[in-house]
Amino acid sequence: MRLRTTVTALILAVIAAAAAILLTRPAAAPAPVSAPSSAHPTPPLAPIRHSTEPHRPAPIPASGSGTFTIDASAGPLLGDAGRLRRFHVAVETTVADGLADFSRTIDETLGDRRSWIGDHEHRFQRVPGAAPADFTIYLATRETAYRLCRAGGVNIRVGGVPYTSCRRSGAVVINYDRWRLAVPDYTSAGTPLPVYRAYVINHEVGHELGHGHLPCPGAGRPAPVMQTQTLGLRGCLANPWPHPTTR
């Protein structure tokens, strides 16, 4: 009996010691949970590539329909004194430039104090097509411009190609090639295209007012607006205005 009691006590002691050892051991760190694998892993994003292709303006047609859209709106009165000349604005239906943009450029140019109104002897106003006008300002492809100018006795060809713009009786004809491209002496000097556009408007309207051509007054000086700047500056500086110092 005593032996059984002793064995039982010994077994209980061993169990207690084992339990104490288990309770004092540090818990094992949980195994990391791996993200579920995908059967089709997402590829890395490709880098964004910005196109280096330059903006390409609409092509310039050499010839057009020969028909024109005339601005049906009226423009502001330009100038504060002098004879009033009313004009129409017409764009050949083939050209890409809008009629509204062309009309606005005409108004802004002729309404500038450095233009012909600066001497207080001239006023201008764009009128609708149905209203009477003293002259019309046309924007035409080069072949149409050639026909319009030639009908008035003006040959605008250079090297066999219609190159310049012109004025004929009752009409100022702007060559669309020049309107879009200007001329070498302007572009090589980095002169902005709007400056040439102001020049060609003022030059041809100057003919409508009765002004003839003028030479370059000297190298490094501003070219007169009535100089044929389209054919070369001849040492002068580009100048689109009849009265460049008037403000």
Report in angstroms the alpha-carbon separations of 84 from 30, 71, 121, 178.
96, 19, 9, 28
Is residue 24 over pLDDT 80? Answer: no
Please compute, for residue 62, the number of CA atoms within 13 A of its CA located in the half-sphere on the CB side.
2
pLDDT digits 0-9 by tens, 66-110: 999 999 999 999 999 999 999 999 999 988 778 999 999 999 999
pLDDT digits 0-9 by tens, 8-22: 444 444 444 444 443
- Classify residue 164: in a domain, yes or no: yes
CA–chain centroid gap for 204, Å, is 24
Q: What pLDDT, on a 0 to 100 scale, did the predictor assign at position 58?
A: 72
- Classify residue 14: in a domain, yes or no: no
* DSSP-based helix, strand, coil % in the chain, nearest 5: 30, 15, 50
**Which structural domain range is residue 155 located in?**
68-231
71 is written with which tokens?
């601005």
- Classify residue 134: in a domain, yes or no: yes
Amino acid at the residue 234: R
- Classify residue 118: in a domain, yes or no: yes
- Classify residue 158: in a domain, yes or no: yes
Q: Quote the CA–CA distance of 236 and 152 in Å, as a whole number.
A: 30
167 close to 173: Cβ distance less than 8 angstroms: yes
pLDDT tier for residue 59 given thresholds of 50, 70 and 90:
confident
Number of separate domains in the chain: 1
Q: What pLDDT, on a 0 to 100 scale, did the predictor assign at position 96?
A: 76
pLDDT digits 0-9 by tens, 164-219: 999 999 999 999 999 999 999 999 999 999 999 999 999 999 999 999 999 999 99
- Classify residue 226: in a domain, yes or no: yes
- Classify residue 246: in a domain, yes or no: no
200 close to 230: Cβ distance less than 8 angstroms: yes
Is residue 231 over pLDDT 50? Answer: yes
Instruction: Determine the straight-line distance between the first and last CA of the chain, rounded to whole angstroms.
Output: 132
pLDDT digits 0-9 by tens, 128-165: 999 999 999 999 999 999 999 999 999 999 999 999 99
Q: For residue 114, what is the domain's CATH number? A: 3.40.390
Q: What is the mean pLDDT of the chain?
A: 84
- Classify residue 119: in a domain, yes or no: yes
Amino acid at the residue 128: P
According to DSSP, residue 226 is labeled: T
